[in-house]
């Protein structure tokens, strides 16, 4: 450990040295020649690689249709959810791309999504927050995580007048392909100046995660070749009377 005394103080790697700060003072230490990993560290590294790749697939599937600015922590937050759940994709239901605001700020009764592709927004009082209208955008994507491909997408936009009673809505979504179906609801406020960019009034939450339905497997019982032997009824015993016949020769 050597203390830095130059005018320019460094932190980070520089050649075979690493600069760091401790208690307001700057030091150098040598870079380790080899990094030894235990079996547990290797397993953890492998898990992180798998689940962070899946999280990346989810983010990039939604990015093209998201109109809001995601907060700076959304990448790490999504990674942590998948790692903590050991890859259970349903654990990300409720994830917010904008941590500051969720869609529950505008919709007190959250939408429901069924496997037949129908999005139902229940009747309710809409919190207008002083806006003249609310834009609701449904973004549905289907991801095949085994091949890391987006196999289908669909988006629907609608406007709600918060000054009028909202009687609910049923929105069909058509997402072809195979894989896990995910649905994000995005809401933005509209005022006299148009669509707001204030993060307090923009939200995008994952509200549904539907894994693919795996067909039931029926176990087929196999047997060796059968040989059927037909049994015949027992025949009655025949009692034979032996007779001695004398033959006279001429």
For the stretch 209-223, pLDDT in tens is 999 987 666 666 565
User: Considering only CA atoms, which of 40, 66, 46, 43 is closest in space to residue 206?
Assistant: 66
What confidence tier does 25 reach under pLDDT thresholds 50, 70, 90? confident
Same domain as 205, residue 172: yes
Q: Specify the length of the chain in residues.
A: 250
Q: At what angle do helices 39-62 and 74-84 cross, to 10 degrees?
A: 130
Contact by Cβ (8 Å): 179, 224? no
Residue 56 lies in a domain: yes
Indicate which CATH number applies to the domain containing 58: 2.60.40.2150
What whole-number percentage of the chain has pLDDT above 90?
55
- Per the model's pLDDT, the better-predicted residue between 19 and 114 turns out to be 114
**199 contacts 101 by C-beta, under 8 angstroms:** yes
Claim to verify: residue 18 and residue 48 sit in the same structural domain:
no
Same domain assignment for residues 86 and 1: no
In a domain, 242, yes or no: no
Tell whether 233 is covered by a domain.
no
How much is the mean pLDDT over the chain?
85
The whole-number pLDDT of residue 91 equals 96
Helix H or strand E encompassing 203: strand 202-210
Quick one: 117 and 55 in the same domain?
yes
Whether 39 maps to a domain, the answer reads no
Is residue 19 within 8 Å of 12, Cβ to Cβ?
A: yes
Which of 50, 130, 116 is CA-nearest to residue 82?
50
Please compute the mean of the pLDDT values over residues 131-145 and round it to a whole number.
Answer: 95
pLDDT of residue 76: 94
89 inside domain: yes
Q: What is the pLDDT of residue 197?
A: 84
Examine the pLDDT at 245 and tell me if it is beyond 50: no
pLDDT digits (tens, 9 = 90+) for 166-178: 999 999 999 989 9
The total of structural domains in the chain comes to 2
Do 86 and 6 belong to one domain? no
Confidence of residue 88 (pLDDT cuts 50, 70, 90): very high
- The answer on 8 and 99 residing in a single domain is no
More confident residue, 71 or 11: 71
Better pLDDT: 83 or 17: 83
The pLDDT-based confidence of 234 (bands split at 50, 70, 90) is low
**pLDDT tens for each residue of 40-86:** 778 888 888 899 999 999 999 999 999 999 999 999 999 999 999 99
What is the maximal distance between C-alpha atoms in the chain?
Answer: 155
Domain residues for 74? 44-210
Q: Is residue 239 assigned to a domain?
A: no
């Amino acid at each position: 450990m050597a203390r830095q005394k130059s005018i320019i103080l460094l932190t980070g790697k520089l050649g075979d040295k690493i600069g760091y700060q401790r208690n307001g003072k700057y030091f150098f230490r040598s870079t380790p020649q080899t990094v030894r990993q235990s079996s547990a560290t290797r397993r953890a590294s492998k898990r992180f690689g798998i689940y962070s790749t899946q999280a990346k697939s989810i983010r990039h599937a939604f990015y093209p249709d998201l109109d809001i600015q995601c907060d700076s922590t959304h990448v790490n937050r999504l990674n942590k959810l998948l790692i903590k759940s050991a890859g259970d994709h349903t654990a990300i239901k409720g994830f917010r791309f904008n941590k500051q605001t969720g869609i529950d700020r505008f919709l007190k009764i959250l939408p429901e999504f069924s496997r037949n592709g129908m999005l139902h927004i229940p009747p309710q009082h809409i919190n207008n927050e002083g806006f003249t209208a609310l834009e609701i955008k449904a973004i549905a994507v289907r991801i095949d995580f085994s091949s890391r491909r987006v196999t289908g997408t669909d988006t629907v936009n609608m406007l709600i007048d918060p000054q009028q009673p909202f009687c609910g809505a049923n929105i069909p979504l058509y997402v072809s392909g195979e894989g896990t179906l995910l649905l994000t609801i995005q809401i933005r406020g509209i005022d006299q100046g148009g669509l707001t960019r204030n993060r307090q009034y923009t939200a995008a939450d994952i509200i549904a995660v539907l894994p693919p339905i795996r067909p039931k497997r029926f176990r087929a019982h196999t047997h060796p070749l059968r040989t059927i032997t037909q049994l015949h009824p027992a025949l009655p015993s025949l009692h034979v009377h032996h007779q001695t016949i004398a033959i006279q020769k001429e």
